[in-house]
Amino acid sequence: INGERFYTYKVDIYSVGIIFFELLVAAQLAATWQYDLELKQIKFPAPFSKYHPKE
């Protein structure tokens, strides 16, 4: 308000670190969600089906 700074550049670096962390976690969660969707669809690779036929 009166021109004094109550924080330094360290606060900005901390904030950027938090944003990067959230981006990384979101990317990992998206990969996990895709993996879960593939598991629900039960898509086995061809070699697996060849050696392990349906029972």
pLDDT digits (tens, 9 = 90+) for 6-28: 778 788 898 998 888 888 887 77
- Cα dihedral 14/20/23/28 (nearest 10): -110
Per-residue pLDDT at 6: 78
Phi-psi region of 7 (alpha: psi -120 to 50; beta: other; left: phi over 0): beta
Q: Which residue has the higher pLDDT, 19 or 29?
A: 19
Kindly report the backbone phi and psi dihedral angles of residue 34, in degrees, each rounded to the nearest multiple of 5, phi listed first.
-65, -40
Query: Does the pTM exceed 0.75?
Result: no
**How far, in Å, CA of 31 to CA of 40, rounded?**
14
pLDDT digits (tens, 9 = 90+) for 34-45: 777 766 676 667
The domains of the chain are located at: 9-51
